[in-house]
Structure 1
Amino acid sequence: MPEQSNDYRVVVFGAGGVGKSSLVLRFVKGTFRDTYIPTILAIKSNVEAIPIMLVGNKSDETHREVETKDGEDQANRWKCAFMETSAKTNHNVTELFQELLNLDKKRNMSLNIDGKHSGKQSRAERLKGKCSVM
């Protein structure tokens, strides 16, 4: 039976100030910061066959930069899942990361069924492709 890893790497990217770090902080530490702290994110690998979810954050705001329908339409064009969240109110934060985990598990099951993974993998091989892009 292949060894399972509980390590997951998530890549979060988007325009500045949309709440990427706030979502991660809310999920990991259960906290929210009102102040803006810029973070630098880089993507260096191919994203094909990696679970992708488009996230509309700051759903608690009355003035919306992107309407729900526009987010849903874009997700349909990209053939990915869509979810609205609010790091500030903790709306759908846990559900977001749970859904990413579920998408990754489905992808790994598909890879195992197709016979692309052997039971003897190095840690690097097990972690390769464990990026979920939002």
Structure 2
Amino acid sequence: MSSKPHGDSFVVKNYRLAVVGGGAVGKSTLTIQFIQSCFVTDYDPTIEDSYTKQCIIDGIASKLDILDTAGQEDFHAMKEQYMRTAEGFLLVFSVTDQNSFAETSNFYMQILRVKDREEFPIILVGNKADLESRRQVTSEEGLQLGRHLGIPYIETSAKNRMNIDAVFHELVRMIRKFQEAERTPCKQKKTQRRSNCSIF
């Protein structure tokens, strides 16, 4: 991806994403599956890891800087820092853990507080959808929470690579729309409504 024909420079658009949620919901396995196309089985509590991936999303060359964050509350100051710099968030819970689902609203409100916004590019992600026999959160509950928060809900499986690319690509699309709306006059922005989508 060095250059376009006729000497025009090949512009790569950069996006800063953060993967947030409670501990042990699969944030790292989801991120590594997207970056390296492999499933990591050993759980090592993450403090903070960052990854970079270049890909084409809707015909646009995109460089994704992805921050895989800690789920533990001990890292509150660090959490505030990444929330300030990220342009979009995957808010992850495990469908096998009701408590992680209950935590998502707090993460959502914290993001909006740090951003000082009423809305922001965020996708609610129900991970570990392959573990159907251990499911504690139904798809309908995920959809209802997504509708309540005004954000899309997508279920994923890091193990089966289900919707892994889709969830990152959809977040980039949301960031693009959000940034475009930010550049439009206030009157136009008031007429734009948040779009919700669900992928299973």
Q: Looking at secondary structure, tell me which structure has more helix per residue.
A: 2
Larger radius of gyration: 2
Segments of 4+ in structure 1 off by > 4 A?
Answer: none
Cross-structure match for 1:112: 183
Greater shift in the superposed pair: 106-115 or 83-92 = 106-115
Higher RCO by CA contacts (8 Å cutoff, separation 6 or greater):
1
Equivalent in 71, 76, 100 of residue 147 of structure 2:
76
What are the superposed Cα offsets for residues 42-98 of structure 1, whole Å, 9 maximum, x if unpaired?
233323242011000001002113111111111111111100000110000000001
The alpha carbon displacement at 1:5 in A equals: 5.8
What are the residue-to-residue correspondences of 1:82-97 with 2, within 5 Å?
82-97=153-168
Cross-structure match for 1:43: 80
Distance 1:82 1:35 in 2: 27
Cross-structure match for 2:123: 53
The alpha carbon displacement at 1:114 in A equals: 2.9
Secondary structure of 1:86's aligned partner: coil
Count of residues in correspondence between the two structures:
112
Secondary structure of 1:13's aligned partner: strand
TM-score normalised by length of structure 1: 0.76
Check if 1:12 corresponds to 2:12.
no
Q: Which runs of 5+ in 1 are unaligned?
A: 116-134
Aligned-partner residue type, residue 109 of structure 1: E
TM-score normalised by length of structure 2: 0.52
Distance 1:88 1:43 in 2: 30
Distance 1:23 1:98 in 2: 13
Q: Kindly report the root-mean-square deviation, in angstroms, between the aligned alpha carbons of the 2 structures.
A: 1.7
Distance 1:9 1:67 in 2: 30
What are the superposed Cα offsets for residues 4-45 of structure 1, whole Å, 9 maximum, x if unpaired?
762211111111111111111011111111111111332333
Q: Looking at secondary structure, tell me which structure has more strand per residue.
A: 2
What are the superposed Cα offsets for residues 82-128 of structure 1, whole Å, 9 maximum, x if unpaired?
0000011000000000100100010111112238xxxxxxxxxxxxx
Equivalent in 31, 36, 40 of residue 38 of structure 2:
31
